[in-house]
Amino acid sequence: MGSAEPDEGQDRGDDAGEAGGFTAEERAAMKERAAELKASRRRGGSKADKAAEEAAAVVAALEALPEPDRGLGQRLHALITEAAPDLAPRTWYGMPAYAKDGKVLCFFQPASKFKARYATLGFNDVAVLDEGTTWPVTWAITSLTAADEERVTALVRRAVG
């Protein structure tokens, strides 16, 4: 049997760059995360001031997206903040995210972020979505119907616990 890894010089099919196997988009996301952490350490003032700055960063990140990601992200932002007002909006690897007790519970990954075919709404392990022994934690999103919005709202409420 052959190796699962491609031979040197062989196309991996994932557009990975030469620098450690990360794509330019992945390296950019890591740089964005480092900048977020640096900005978080620099922020002074009260918790409310920090939360307001982080929420403003989410709005700015959404505004900077191309369509249709911008519209999807803005609608998801409204749904998530309405369904779970205690979640703290913040950016995470440059993406809009929503944290519970300081840990990212869910995030919106725009299709444009990694040149993907569709955007996704993802949930991290702090989300309470458990169903037996397996369950989905990421949903592809190409548009949002009224039924989709109800499903997202229910998922977020359930994820918060």
The length of the chain is: 161
Instruction: State mean pLDDT over 12-37.
Output: 79
What's the CA gap between 133 and 24, in Å, rounded?
35
pLDDT category at 68 given cuts 50, 70, 90 is: very high
What's the CA gap between 80 and 153, in Å, rounded?
7
CATH number at residue 87: 3.90.1150.200
Is 76 within the bounds of a domain? yes
Give the model's pLDDT for residue 58.
Answer: 97
Spatial CB neighbours of 36, under 8 Å, sequence gap ≥ 6 = 57, 90, 91, 92, 93, 94
| Mean residue pLDDT across the chain | 89
Q: Domain count of the chain?
A: 1
Is 15 within the bounds of a domain? no
Residue 116 corresponds to which amino acid?
A
Give the model's pLDDT for residue 5.
Answer: 46
pLDDT tens, residue by residue, 92-133: 999 999 999 999 999 999 999 999 999 999 999 999 999 999
Residue 30 corresponds to which amino acid?
M
What's the CA gap between 7 and 38, in Å, rounded?
38
